[in-house]
Amino acid sequence: MRHAAALLGPQRLVLAQEFLRFGAVGTVGFAVDTAVLYAALWFAGAGPYGGRLLSYLAAATTTWALNRRWTFRDRRSTLSAARQWASFLVVNLVGFGSNYGTYAALVALSPFCARYPVVGVAAGALAGMAGNFFLSRRFVFGARPGRDP
């Protein structure tokens, strides 16, 4: 860890650690997204687009909770939990646009992705990740005490 701190500097090291944790949380979100999508398709009779809206909401709620408790645990937000969750959903609409747009395009244009929507879910998650990280870090989870302006 000291080598990484020396190489990156303390602020970039914190950024890198947060990004890695955000990615790990995103992996959990991907699993929730996929599970809820397939459940909506199989048990609720939802189509691939409506089912994806449900699965995205479930995944976003899961990732908000995990990011709040783990990824950004050292940051202070002035928002209540309910307002923070709502803010997370709002700022992540940018990532959602990339995420859902990638998914929808792949499902519509690729017979393989239409048959295996999990591929579209994965591609969508990667497409939205960077934007979601920086927007969440800045606008949802607040500054680190005594460190960020």
Tens-digit pLDDT profile for residues 104-146 = 999 999 999 999 998 998 898 888 888 899 999 989 998 766 5
Q: What is the CA radius of gyration of the chain?
A: 17
pTM for this predicted structure: 0.77
What's the total number of domains in the chain? 1
Residue 145 resides in a domain: no
Residue 149 resides in a domain: no
C-alpha dist (Å) from residue 118 to 1, 53, 92, 104, 144: 35, 14, 20, 12, 36
User: What's the domain range around 77?
Assistant: 2-140
Q: What is the pLDDT of residues 5-28, one digit of tens each?
A: 667 787 888 889 999 999 999 999
Residue 134 resides in a domain: yes
Residue 50 resides in a domain: yes
Residue 148 resides in a domain: no
Q: For the residues 99-105, what does the mean pLDDT come to?
A: 91
**Dist. CA 15–CA 93, nearest whole Å:** 22
Query: How far is C-alpha 72 from the chain's CA centre?
Result: 13
